[in-house]
């Protein structure tokens, strides 16, 4: 079974900006409850359709849980919009 939780939680994010094929990489984020999550891998970064405004979706993992972070390039805000923490057998 797929245990996805959909959220719209504002988060604080530390990200690196550099060159290469993946110029922006979230490294760590802090959730509303104070918990800090260290990103071990950026799975995929892709834009989300939203008219002329670009929202970047970053699918990341900390090695135990998959997360989606969304960056609003107009407002410069980050939100945690999905958490899938384990995949139980049916």
Partner 1 sequence: MSKTEFNEERPLIMHIDLNSCFATVEQQARPMLRGKPIAIVNRRTDHTAIITASYEAKAMGVKVGMKLREAKLLCPDIIALESDPSKYKFVYHKLLDIMRDYSAHVTMKSIDEGIIDFHNTSADIAGRDLVEIGLEIKQRLKDEIGVWMRCNVGIATNRFLAKTAAGLHKPDGLDVLTSQNIIETLGELKLTDLTGIASRNQKRLNSVGIFTPLQFLDADITTLHKVVFKSVVGEWWYKRLRGWEVDDVETRIGRVGRQYVLERFDLTHTEVLQRLHHLCESVGSRLRSQNLSARGVYVYAKSSEHGYWHSSVLTPLPFYSDQSIYAQAQHLFKKAPDSIKEIGIHCYELGPVENDQISLFADQITRERHVVEAIDVVNKRYGERTLHSADTLGTGIYVNQKIPFGSTRYL
The b-or-e profile of 25-44 (16+ CB within 10 A means b, else e) is bbeebebeeeeebebeebee
Report the C-alpha gap between 80 and 66 in whole angstroms: 11
Place of tokens 């690196």: 16
Place of tokens 């939203």: 50
55 within 8 A of 73, measured Cβ to Cβ = yes
Nearest approach, Cβ of residue 89 and partner 1 (Å): 5
Q: Does 48 bind partner 1 (CB under 8 A)?
A: yes
User: Applying CB under 8 A, which part among 8-16, 29-37, 55-63, 72-80 lies near partner 1?
Assistant: 55-63
Nearest approach, Cβ of residue 15 and partner 1 (Å): 17
Q: Does 5 bind partner 1 (CB under 8 A)?
A: no
Of 34 and 63, the one with the shorter C-beta distance to partner 1 is: 63
Residues contributing to the site for partner 1 (CB under 8 A): 1-2, 21, 41, 43-44, 46-53, 57, 59, 61, 64-66, 84, 86-87, 89-90
């Amino acid at each position: 079974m797929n245990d996805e939780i959909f959220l719209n939680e504002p988060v604080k994010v530390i990200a690196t900006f550099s060159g290469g094929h993946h110029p922006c990489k979230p490294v760590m984020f802090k959730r509303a409850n104070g918990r800090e999550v260290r990103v071990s891998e950026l799975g995929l970064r892709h834009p989300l359709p939203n008219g002329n405004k670009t929202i970047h979706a970053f699918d990341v993992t900390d090695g135990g849980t998959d997360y989606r972070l969304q960056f609003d390039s107009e407002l410069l805000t980050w939100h945690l919009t999905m958490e899938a923490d384990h995949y139980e057998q049916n």
